[in-house]
Chain A
Amino acid sequence: AAGVIQSPRHLIKEKRETATLKCYPIPRHDTVYWYQQGPGQDPQFLISFYEKMQSDKGSIPDRFSAQQFSDYHSELNMSSLELGDSALYFCASSQGTGSGYGYTFGSGTRLTVV
């Protein structure tokens, strides 16, 4: 079965550079969530989209932005990268946002800022 696809798997950037992470949800899933997991940390919710509109916002820095496109894939844009942005970035998708709709997580993009 198709899963949530994230690209790239690994990314190395220098400080102050920009990065774009992509997430392709499971077909017919209309909701995308982004999470950041620092080394040895629990996943922290960044932002979510439902039907191409931002549905909720968590601890996403102002340097980051995201959007969901007409084909429901989502991109997380990160600018002025800092060493502390090094983390595993997960995307999850679901069909709807209400109770009973399960999440499926992607394998994540490991971002290293040097």
Chain B
Amino acid sequence: AQRVTQPEKLLSVFKGAPVELKCNYSYSGSPELFWYVQYSRQRLQLLLRHISRESIKGFTADLNKGETSFHLKKPFAQEEDSAMYYCALRRYGGSQGNLIFGKGTKLSVKP
């Protein structure tokens, strides 16, 4: 079964510290992985897609198929990074393109 696991419900760091939000997945085929950010119950905003290999707001994520992981990293956290972060997996093939979300990790960056 397809599943996304985010083991940490809450991650609290000080400003300037490195951040790593963990995401592991299980999927029988080739996955498409995303990170979404949600500020104060606002809309979900796309942060990263693994296929584009880009860096947004200083965040990066690398898909590790051997470890089935897609951890989100940032070398120096900022207070404005405080938000809920959701890792999501997309199953595709045919007409099924919906996202499967992890439970989310709340990142709190303290001054």
Contact = CB atoms under 8 A, between A and B. Distances in A.
Nearest to A110: B41
B35 to A, nearest CB: 12
Interface in B66-111: 86, 90, 92, 95-104
Given A55-B96, A97-B96, A42 B104 contact: yes
A94 to B, nearest CB: 7
B11 interface: no
A101 interface: yes
Interface in A87-106: 88, 90, 92, 94, 96-106
Given A42-B86, A42-B103, A43-B86, A101 B49 contact: no
A24 interface: no
B20 interface: no
Contacts of B99: 33, 43, 45, 103
A55 B86 CA distance: 24
Q: Is the interface of B mostly helix, strand, loop or mixed?
A: loop
B64 interface: no
Interface residues of A, number: 29
Contacts, number: 59
Nearest to A51: B95
B43 A90 contact: yes
A101 B46 CA distance: 12
Contacts of A50: 95
Which of B42, B43, B100, B101 has the most C-beta atoms of chain A within 10 angstroms of its own C-beta?
B43
A105 B45 contact: yes
Interface of B: 32, 41-46, 49, 51, 86, 90, 92, 95-104
State the 10 A-B residue pairs at the shortest beta-carbon distance, nearest first: A97-B97, A55-B95, A105-B44, A42-B101, A45-B98, A107-B43, A99-B92, A105-B43, A56-B96, A42-B103
15 contacts: A33-B99, A42-B86, A45-B99, A48-B97, A55-B95, A55-B97, A56-B96, A56-B97, A90-B43, A98-B97, A101-B97, A103-B46, A103-B99, A104-B46, A106-B43
